[in-house]
């Protein structure tokens, strides 16, 4: 069965320092992978997606993620955190089953950015 | 292009009542899925509709139901509300048949007293 593990439930960084949010997945096929961000009382917004093209994926707001098949990882990074990055981040895996996609969500990582 | 629209954004109900939430997907999207989000359980998948048919279902009791109309708009209904049903209910739409991503609405915040 497919699964997504976000290794940290909370991450705290200082403004201007790098961000690393970790995600490991298990999948029987070639998955599509996504990172979403959720600000308080808002819906989820797509940050970036991997769909078997380049392994290094660039997203919005300076975020990027690298797909490593050998490590079954899809970690999210940003070189320099901004206060506005404080939010909850979800790693999502999508697999094709019976000709449609099923989505599997990680448990989320709350990012705190200190001034 | 308009995004996913959910109504109402906030609502308060009492135990035993029922509630109906609405979701209008992005134009051209045929798949609508629903999620319940709570601090304790996180994001949990409720069900997905594609072309008016329920295609996938999560592990929720029968009190939770949904439907999709011919214009792809979807509603979900929760009957006999319990305190534990208090949550943010998120709707997401997608094209439905490729590796495309989900597009989420802002959610409907349900409080059960």
Model pLDDT, residue A1: 58
Take residue B22 and report the two structure tokens written for it: 């609405």
DSSP string across B57-103: E-S--TTEEEEE-TTS-EEEEE-S--GGG-EEEEEEEE-SSSSPPPE
Q: What is the mean pLDDT of chain A?
A: 91
A43, B104: Cβ pair inside 8 Å?
yes
Residue A99 in this model has a pLDDT that exceeds 70 = no
Model pLDDT, residue A61: 94
Model pLDDT, residue B60: 95
Model pLDDT, residue A31: 81
- Set of chain A residues whose Cβ sits within 8 Å of the Cβ of B103: 46
Model pLDDT, residue B105: 96
The residue among B33 and A52 whose pLDDT is bigger is B33
Alpha-carbon gap, residue A39 to A86, rounded angstroms:
8
Average pLDDT, stretch B81-108? 90
Tens of pLDDT, residue by residue over B19-50, are 999 999 999 999 999 999 998 888 999 999 99
Alpha-carbon gap, residue B109 to A18, rounded angstroms:
33
* Pairing between β-strand B5-7 and β-strand B19-24 as defined by DSSP bridges: antiparallel
The residue among B109 and A3 whose pLDDT is bigger is B109
Take residue A63 and report the two structure tokens written for it: 């975020």
From A18's Cα to the closest Cα of chain B, the distance in A is 26
Average pLDDT, stretch A28-44? 88
Residue A80 in this model has a pLDDT that exceeds 70 = yes
Contact indicator for B29, B6 with CB cutoff of 8 Å: no
Q: Which residue has the tokens 């989320």?
A: A108
Taking the Cβ of residue B92 and every Cβ of chain A, the question of whether any pair is shorter than 8 Å is answered with: yes
A49, B42: Cβ pair inside 8 Å?
no
- Set of chain A residues whose Cβ sits within 8 Å of the Cβ of B6: 43
B90, A44: Cβ pair inside 8 Å?
yes
Residue A94 in this model has a pLDDT that exceeds 70 = yes
The residue among A29 and B21 whose pLDDT is bigger is B21
Tens of pLDDT, residue by residue over A57-67, are 999 999 999 99
The residue among A55 and B97 whose pLDDT is bigger is A55
Average pLDDT, stretch A42-54? 88
């Amino acid at each position: 069965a497919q699964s997504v593990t976000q290794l940290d439930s909370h991450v705290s960084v200082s403004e201007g320092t790098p961000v690393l949010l970790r995600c490991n997945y298990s999948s029987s096929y070639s998955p599509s992978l996504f990172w979403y961000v959720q600000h308080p009382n808002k819906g989820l917004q797509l940050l970036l997606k991997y769909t078997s093209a380049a392994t290094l994926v660039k997203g919005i707001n300076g975020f990027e993620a690298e797909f490593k098949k050998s490590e079954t990882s899809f970690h999210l990074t940003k070189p320099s955190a901004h206060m506005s990055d404080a939010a909850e981040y979800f790693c999502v895996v999508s697999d094709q089953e019976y000709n449609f996609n099923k989505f599997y969500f990680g448990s989320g990582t709350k990012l705190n950015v200190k001034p | 292009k308009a995004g996913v629209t959910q109504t109402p954004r906030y609502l308060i109900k009492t135990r035993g009542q029922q509630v109906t939430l609405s979701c209008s997907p992005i134009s051209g999207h045929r798949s609508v899925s629903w999620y319940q989000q709570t601090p304790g359980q996180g994001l949990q998948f409720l069900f997905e509709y594609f072309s008016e048919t329920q295609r996938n279902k999560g592990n929720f009791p029968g009190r939770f139901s949904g439907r999709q109309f011919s214009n792809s708009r979807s509603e979900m209904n929760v009957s006999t509300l319990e305190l534990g049903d208090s949550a943010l209910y998120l709707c997401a739409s997608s094209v439905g048949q490729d590796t495309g991503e989900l597009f989420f609405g802002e959610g409907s915040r349900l409080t059960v007293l």
